[in-house]
Structure 1
Amino acid sequence: MDLAELEIFRTVAREESVTRAAKALDRVQSNVTTRVKQLEEELGVALFLRDSKRMTLTPQGQRFLGYAERLLALAEEARQSMRADEPTGRLRVGTMESSAAARLPRPLARYHGKWPQVQIEIQTGTTQALVDAVLAHRVDCAVVAHPGEGAPDTLDMDELGPGLEGTYLFSEELLLVLPPSHPPVRTPQDLTLRSLATFSRGCTYRLCAQAWLGSGEGPRPALNMLELASYHAILACVTAGSAVAIVPRSLLALHPDAAALQTVPVRTAHTFLVRRQGFATAACQAFLRELQHE
Structure 2
Amino acid sequence: MDIGLLKVFRAVAEEGSISKAAQSLNYVQSNVTARIQQLEQELRTPLFYRHSRGITLTSAGQTLMEYTVRIFNLLEEAQQAVLDSPVPKGTITVGSDTTAAVRLPAILSAYRGCYPDVEVQLQIGRAADLIDSVLQHVVQGALMDGPVEHPEIVQELVIHEQLGLVIPDTIGYRGLSSINDKTLLILNAECIYRARLEEWLREEGFRLGKVMEFGTMEGLLGCVRAGIGFAVLPVSYFRRMNITEGISCYPFPERYAEVPTVFIRRRDLYMTSAFREFMEELKVHLPEAVCRTDILAAESSGTATN
* TM-score, with length taken from structure 2: 0.71
**AA aligned opposite 1:247:** L
Matches within 5 A, 1:71-150: 71-82=71-82, 83=84, 85-100=86-101, 102-147=102-147
2:167 alignment counterpart: 178
Tell me the CA shift for residue 198 of structure 1: 0.9
| Partner deviation per Cα, 1:197-226 (whole Å, 9 max, x = no partner) | 1122443334333433x3323242x43221
Match of 2:192 among 172, 184, 204: 204
Tell me the CA shift for residue 57 of structure 1: 5.4
**AA aligned opposite 2:165:** L
Percent of aligned pairs sharing the same letter: 28
Q: Which runs of 5+ in 2 are unaligned?
A: 41-45, 286-306
Q: Which runs of 5+ in 1 are unaligned?
A: 148-158
Change (3 A) 1:245 1:219: closer
Indicate the SS of the match to 2:258: strand
| Partner deviation per Cα, 1:108-155 (whole Å, 9 max, x = no partner) | 2333444454454432222333223323433321112225xxxxxxxx
Answer whether contact 1:198 1:234 (CA < 8 A) is retained: yes
Change (3 A) 1:232 1:167: same
Answer whether contact 1:172 1:271 (CA < 8 A) is retained: yes
**AA aligned opposite 1:215:** R
- CA distance in 1 between counterparts of 2:240 and 2:18 reads 41
Indicate the SS of the match to 1:244: strand
Match of 1:216 among 197, 203, 215: 203
- CA distance in 2 between counterparts of 1:271 and 1:205 reads 12
Matches within 5 A, 1:1-294: 30-31=26-27, 37=33, 40-41=36-37, 42-43=39-40, 44-46=46-48, 58=57, 64-82=64-82, 83=84, 85-100=86-101, 102-147=102-147, 160-186=149-175, 188-212=176-200, 214-220=201-207, 222-266=208-252, 267-282=257-272, 283-294=274-285
Equivalent pairs counted in the alignment come to: 272
Change (3 A) 1:140 1:255: closer
Could you say what the CA RMSD is over the residues aligned between the two structures, in angstroms? 3.7
Answer whether contact 2:11 2:25 (CA < 8 A) is retained: no
- CA distance in 2 between counterparts of 1:132 and 1:271 reads 17
Change (3 A) 1:31 1:122: farther
Indicate the SS of the match to 1:253: helix
| Partner deviation per Cα, 1:265-286 (whole Å, 9 max, x = no partner) | 1213222211122434123212
Change (3 A) 1:250 1:59: farther
> Once structures 1 and 2 are overlaid, which stretch shifts more, 117-126 or 72-81?
117-126
Change (3 A) 1:292 1:219: closer
- CA distance in 2 between counterparts of 1:117 and 1:7 reads 30
Indicate the SS of the match to 2:27: helix
| Partner deviation per Cα, 1:165-209 (whole Å, 9 max, x = no partner) | 2222533222210111114232x3442343211122443334333
1:152 alignment counterpart: none
Tell me the CA shift for residue 232 of structure 1: 0.7
Change (3 A) 1:95 1:113: same
Change (3 A) 1:177 1:123: same
Indicate the SS of the match to 1:191: coil
